[in-house]
Structure 1
């Protein structure tokens, strides 16, 4: 496994472990903006049915290939669209789990988007939100010498193609407004983005040690502002 693959594992493992804890034995899952199926195919491999809604035909083509390679093409469906057309494609109260990863950053109205996602959840269903976190972005831009960008992010402005960023309180407030109950909050990539990739090659066991460290701080509130992303689970 390359350094980039090991770093990727450290970045996604905690999210994946959280998802495994809320998936039932036979769930209907919607992955909005699921792209090429990084999560969708893994969920399907556990025996669940997954529908991916994404605006990119190229991403959906890659999703189809990945599902075939993983021998789960019968459990993964891709459809072009986005949140604005979601209710036309997916009926209300029709899915058990919704994955909304990297989507709130790019929609015009995050509150409206979450309200729409809440409608497609069955009672007792779970929404998984993964979103870029503002505090860490401010620090990262400042360290890189981009002080103007750091100030814009600090003030809540969208920067270029990266879109919105949120604090954990803002995300939980939006979820409350959508009628959803927050059940867990995890800080994601507290250290993974700061560790040089070369270190993971040079130090034996460094990747596992990094992952263990990420797990140790993921639920500690004092480290949450340092996390590149926030992962929140909420139920209807």
Structure 2
């Protein structure tokens, strides 16, 4: 399959690709495995908190049907415009709702894959959010979780000279560095995998996302020839190594229903 989130080699990558490339590689491979396992050409994908379609549109470009659930009318309006521009409006449906009341707007057991990206941080009960994602799956399916990483925030605050805030994030129950922190909750890789396993899934993969990207001065990436490509390769190489999970800005966990073909 072609990769809609990777530009042709003749075109420069954008810095935004550093935020999505690792997750997209894992997700695309997982969706391809599900296509082979089901024998169907397209899958039904649920994107909770999918906003304006950063993942929904590329997934639809692969030929899959995507339902995006998001509480923001503005985000859903942007999604509608974006899907029209991409030519996938017939494969993407946006509905207003949230992870807590998920089954007020979508059916249980109706999806081959559920994306839960940037959602768990904002839930009072992250475990409930993961359980709802699993309940939306068909008997064999997968859940893609992307959440804020604790270690990346601690490291960033420390390198900025905010040592008290770094210590507060490190030792606090929610991983926040202070009242001004816009992120309500952060996770370690162990916490996320425990949520996945507690919901009855097996962990298929764990990746660190933005291990270096948020620490490297932008001027180095923007002015040095080939620096962006080299940084992306470094990110991809470090993503699977457990040693770097503890300093990643985000963590990605792929959960699969037990018995799913993971070959």
> TM bucket by the smaller chain?
over 0.9
TM-score by length of 2: 0.85
Determine the structure 2 residue equivalent to 1:177: 198
Residue 14 of structure 2: SS of its match in structure 1? helix
Query: In 2, Cα distance between the equivalents of 1:212 and 1:84?
Result: 37
Higher helix proportion: 1
Query: In 1, Cα distance between the equivalents of 2:100 and 2:187?
Result: 21
Q: CA deviation at 1:140?
A: 0.9
List alignment gaps of at least 5 residues for structure 2: 1-6, 8-12, 36-40, 258-263
Q: Given the alignment of the two structures, is residue 186 of structure 1 paired with residue 184 of structure 2, yes or no?
A: no
Correspondence for 1:26 among 30, 42, 46: 42
Higher relative contact order (CA 8 A, sep 6+): 1
Correspondence for 2:162 among 136, 141, 146: 146
Q: Given the alignment of the two structures, is residue 162 of structure 1 paired with residue 170 of structure 2, yes or no?
A: no
TM-score by length of 1: 0.95
Residue 60 of structure 1: SS of its match in structure 2? helix
Runs of 4+ residues deviating >4 angstroms: none
Residue 90 of structure 1: SS of its match in structure 2? coil
Q: CA deviation at 1:150?
A: 1.9
Residue 215 of structure 2: SS of its match in structure 1? coil
Determine the structure 2 residue equivalent to 1:7: 15
Determine the structure 2 residue equivalent to 1:60: 76
**Within-5 A mapping of 1:41-56:** 41-56=57-72
List alignment gaps of at least 5 residues for structure 1: none
**Within-5 A mapping of 1:53-202:** 53-154=69-170, 155-157=172-174, 158=176, 159=178, 160-202=181-223
Q: Number of aligned pairs?
A: 234
Aligned-residue CA RMSD (Å): 1.6
